[in-house]
Amino acid sequence: MIRSLLVANRAEIARRIVRTCRDLGIATVAVHSDADADAPHAREADAAVRLPGDAPADTYLRGDLLVKAALAAGADAVHPGYGFLSEHADFARAVRAAGLVWVGPPPEAMEAMASKTRAKEIMRKAGVPLLDPLDPAEVTAGDLPVLVKAAAGGGGRGMRVVRELAALPAELDSARAEAASAFGDGEIFVEPYMEGARHVEVQVLADNHGTVWTLGTRDCSLQRRHQKVIEEAPAPGLEEELRRTLGESAANAARAIGYEGAGTVEFLVSPSGRAYFLEMNTRLQVEHPVTEEIHGLDLVALQLRIAEGERLDAEPPAPRGHAVEARLYAEDPARGWRPQTGILHRLEVPGLRVDSGPDGGDAIGVHYDPMLAKVIAVAPTRAEAVRRLAHGLERARIHGPVTNRELLVRALRHPEFEAGRMDTGFLERHLPELTAEASENGEAVPLAALAAALADAARRPATVAGRLGGWRNVPSQPQLRSYRAEPGGTEHEVGYRLTRDGLLAEGLPDVRLLTVEPGWAADPGRDTQSGRAADPGRAVQPGRDADPARVVLDVAGVRRTFEVTAYGDRRYVDTPQGGHVFTALPRFPDPTARTEPGSLLAPMPGTVVRIAEVAVGDRVEAGQSLLWLEAMKMEHRVTAPAAGVLTALHAAPGRQVEVGALLAVVAAGE
């Protein structure tokens, strides 16, 4: 029996495992880097062990430190979660060699699937259908498009879609470099890229007595940068014969390598309905909750019981209903999916299952994946589950860095998705419409900006009339406030007057003010969002811990309620129809706040990982890659903004940069 478990991971999955252990009566030990010292997973476990440093290579990827932490804390088992060392056979062997229980598959099974090239050979012998690889040196124009993939990788790292033959050599080199940096293994391979394919996977669960479960299918086709964004179970629209083929192939794959525990066999399904083996993940998947919800299981609890030697029942529970999961990321989809950092002041999604990493009041840093939470809806039918998830996300209160929330809501409501006609190119194909700013002709954004202005005015210590600008018996100039919508940067000037007939808003003739209830600043020694004492070493910003103001407007006879929360110069306006974020602009902008033409500034905090073969004085073309930044487990290219001459280069491999740091200067002309 496992009595104490070390969770060799962080954030959402660590909290998920701790929650199940608490239900099973198992004590838990967390590990944390210095950046995660006050993270929820470290607070919620029964004990926590520090891993000195911030970077994953110094902390969560140090198997020796993890084993040492387990022994020091008296744990008798280790659960790796997903990511980090969860699929490293050597780590599993080290755990077992220390006399600890490894909550995962045998190291030999992990090793068999660790290399995608070797995995395909094993699957071929097991009769699992797969795509034939291509020799990179013999790829022709007729083979295009092709997919370059890292043999040892995952999560979209070291992966490139190549559509032009001339671009293949450079993409091969780039994929090798990224794979070597991310996985310590630069091996890559090439295979046909299947346009219009779906990503469908099968959850497997196997005990050490020979029983193998296949728990239906999941569709994970909505992806960005080859990383999943929306997943659902069961995969919609599959013929019964195809479902049977997928289940049998997944079971054969598990038996071929002597698998034990939870794992996932992933397939590409062509538009014609043929399935091809993609890879096997020898761990728990991020998207496991949708399978749990429809089968009524706790997969983490089953992992633990299998590790203790228990037998599975002969057959798994039958599925019921439909579940959909959306991954909420701190990123800006409209700007190259740039990861975002900062304080997450508030995260509330009422009525749905939320598996989150950070809580309100926690900082989102640069060292780790930008996923904030997984939001899961379940219902008797797919249509109801999709509707519930979109509605819940729309009403969510998310105060902090820019997120992909709006993209998720729009994707869930897109006609193609609602009809179940999605594929792996969905987000790329529809990105412009999914990230477009709200129409200027609509009233949603102007009304939200007006609510922000009225809330700001109402916070002044005076009578209501005084706070809103006072009443005069002759016409006067309107009160003016300016806000910038985030993200996007569109500026909105709000003008209003308080007359004998009530509020008059510029450009909104059918709007009347019903109520303004100003928010009150909370005790500066307490963070009202997280319930924790405020960090005495952190300056409390004006409005940092403020309660929301409530603004009620009559809009053409319809009562509308707006909840406005202020943190510094940011205003978060939440409504039942969605949320809006504004930055309050000063009346007199600083005229010195400008950047010299041609300056390339860091779009995010991160680490310079590579510099292109360019030098100061070289001529560069518009869009030419100059350097690569790594932030939150993703690489981002920094390119020349226009044709010109590289006149300065302020970057070197390994250099840490903050957002806005000057990286290079490209002067236009000769």
Point out the residues that are catalytic.
Answer: 283
DSSP assignment letter at 131: P
What is the CA 150 to chain-centroid distance, rounded?
A: 22
Residue of 314, 555, 346 whose CA lies nearest to 443:
555
* CB 553 within 8 Å of CB 447: yes
DSSP string for 458-480: HTSSS-HHHHTT---SS--PPEE
* CA dist., res. 10 & res. 45, Å (int): 11
CB neighbours of residue 547 within 10 Å: 16
Q: Which residue has the tokens 């309660």?
A: 547
Distance CA(63)–CA(8), nearest Å, equals 9
Q: Among 355, 213, 243, which Cα is nearest to 293's?
A: 355
| 548-446-399 Cα angle (round to 5) | 35
Which amino acid type is present at position 83? G
Helix (H) or strand (E) run with residue 441 in it: none
Question: Which is it for the CA torsion 191, 231, 87, 357, positive or negative?
Answer: positive
Three-state SS at 65? helix
For 556-597, give the DSSP string. TTEEEEEEEEEETTEEEEEETTEEEEEEEPPSS--TT----T
8 Å CB contact between 53 and 59: yes
Q: Could you tell me how many helices (H) and strands (E) the chain has, helices first? A: 16, 38
Radius of gyration of the chain (CA): 27
Q: What distance lies between CA 364 and its chain's CA centroid?
A: 12
Look-up: residue for tokens 């840093």?
A: 365
Residue 522 CB partners (closer than 8 Å, separation 6+): 528, 545, 546, 547
Q: Count Cβ atoms below 10 Å from residue 60 Cβ, excluding itself.
A: 27
H or E segment and range at residue 294: helix 288-295
Compute the distance between CA of residue 243 and CA of residue 241 in angstroms, rounded to an integer.
5
Buried b (16+ CB within 10 A) or exposed e, 117-149: eebbebbeeeebebbeebebeebeeebbebbbb
Q: Which amino acid is at 403?
A: T
Q: How far is CA 574 from CA 11, 193, 306, 508, 555, in A?
A: 26, 42, 45, 19, 16
- Residues 217, 235: contact at Cβ < 8 Å? yes
Report CA-CA distances (Å) from 62 to 77, 238, 303. Answer: 17, 42, 23
Contact 651, 664 (CB under 8 A): yes
Asked if 616 contacts 649 with a C-beta cutoff of 8 angstroms, the reply is: yes
